[in-house]
Amino acid sequence: MLNLFKSLVSVSVARTISERERDYLNAAVSRFDLERREREIDHGLFRTPHPYL
């Protein structure tokens, strides 16, 4: 029972902003895509609140 609880809690833990940014950068398919993604992050892609949330 305790293991089930631990697994449910670990799934529900939100990822940090830096982890989401790293994952987004790791998904780049080319150097140009990576540079564009870096600029988007520098402009606050993950740091500004989403207007629909």
pTM: 0.64
pLDDT in tens, the chain (53 residues): 667 666 655 554 567 888 999 999 999 999 999 999 999 999 988 887 766 65
What pLDDT score was predicted for residue 1? 62
pLDDT of residue 53: 54
Domain ranges in the chain are 14-53
Is residue 37 within 8 A of residue 24, CB to CB? The reply is yes
pLDDT at 9: 56
Question: Which residue's entry shows tokens 């150097």?
Answer: 31
What is the Cα–Cα distance from 17 to 44, expressed in whole angstroms?
11
Q: What was the pLDDT predicted at 46?
A: 84
46, 17 in Cβ contact below 8 A? Answer: yes
